[in-house]
Amino acid sequence: MASKQLILITGATGRQGGAVARELLASGQSLRVMTRKPDNESARALAKRGAEVVQGDLDDPSSLRRALEGVWGVFAVQNTWEAGVEREEEQGKRLAELARELGVKHYVYSSVASAHRKTGIPHFENKWRVEEKVRSLGFPSWTILRPVFFMENWLTPSFKPAIDQGKLAVAIAPDTVLQMIAVADIGRYGRLAFEKARELNAQAIDIAGDGMTMSKAAEVITAASGKRVVFERAPIEQVRQFSEDYAIMLEWFDRAGYNAAIKGNAKKYGIAPTPFKDWAHSVDWR
């Protein structure tokens, strides 16, 4: 891949797209980033680093066509929790179809770890169907990345308020090991997927950085934050009231769980995974 080949990043002001964009810009890559709000702070920061920022909406085919014009590669990501399961699938398939129609040579799709394992989790199953669409379109090359649970999730409103009260409240069993990944690692794999497009063609890679029980995770957060945090198993029915989809995922964590090859990937792809301890000490828990 030459730096003059233009790459489009969707979700560029979000976590995954933003991480991939920053990695590619650091390597001197020509980048176009798509966002619904080109004037927001994240988009302006990417523009200052040299990215071309364009307005686009995953539900608007005409804006997608404009964003895809003249593009060599695409990093595609959609958000279940924003779009919903059915709409996310429509968005994922629409973008892939338009990219193929407009001559994109290398397509990188961010799915979810274990999407291929018939989990029964709605927002895993829909990503599998998008994967199948990508595979069927006949791109000259494509790569699928499948990240596990984000370490950054602990900083979201779903978990951080309880952590502030000294509780890591998660509706999974005490002995369940949860694999996690720092979003920065997704960015590094995204960069690799473009830099080694030929070598990684037709590969789907489950990626993770660390794995541990929630009791151990609470110990790590305690050490990093300087405030005592203990694991407390939340009632699954409480989660189900918020989201049946999310509850099904947590039950699957207990029953099966992710199985990304952390050490094997590090050896094969040359990307050292970020341990949860290192990530936890790098963020501000205040």
Which of 156, 153, 161 minimizes the C-alpha distance to 217? 153
Partners of 220 in beta bridges: none
259 contacts: CB under 8 Å, gap ≥ 6: 114, 179, 206
* Ramachandran sector of residue 270 (left: φ over 0; alpha: ψ -120 to 50; beta: rest): left
Looking at the predicted structure, is the pLDDT value of residue 2 above 80? no
Range 21-27 average pLDDT: 96
**Architecture of the structural domain at 7-148+183-207+259-273:** 3-Layer(aba) Sandwich (3.40)
The whole-number pLDDT of residue 83 equals 87
CA dist., res. 152 & res. 132, Å (int): 28
pLDDT band of residue 3 (cuts 50, 70, 90) is: low
Look at the block and give the residue holding tokens 């999407």.
Answer: 115
The token duo for 19 is 């991480």
Q: How confident is the model at residue 37 (pLDDT cuts 50, 70, 90)?
A: confident
Q: Domain ranges for the chain, please list them.
A: 7-148+183-207+259-273
| Mean pLDDT to the nearest integer, 206-211 | 98
Q: What angle do CA 72, 197, 275 make, to 5 degrees?
A: 120
Write out pLDDT tens, residues 127-176. 999 999 999 999 999 999 999 999 999 999 999 999 999 999 999 999 99
- Is the entire prediction scored with pTM above 0.85? yes
Q: Give the per-residue pLDDT at 226.
A: 97
State how far the Cα of 35 lies from the Cα of 26, in Å rounded to an integer. 20
178: which strand partners?
Answer: 212
Structure tokens at 118: 């018939």
Q: Is residue 157 classed exposed, middle or buried when 0-12, 13-18 and 19+ CB atoms within 10 A define those classes?
A: exposed
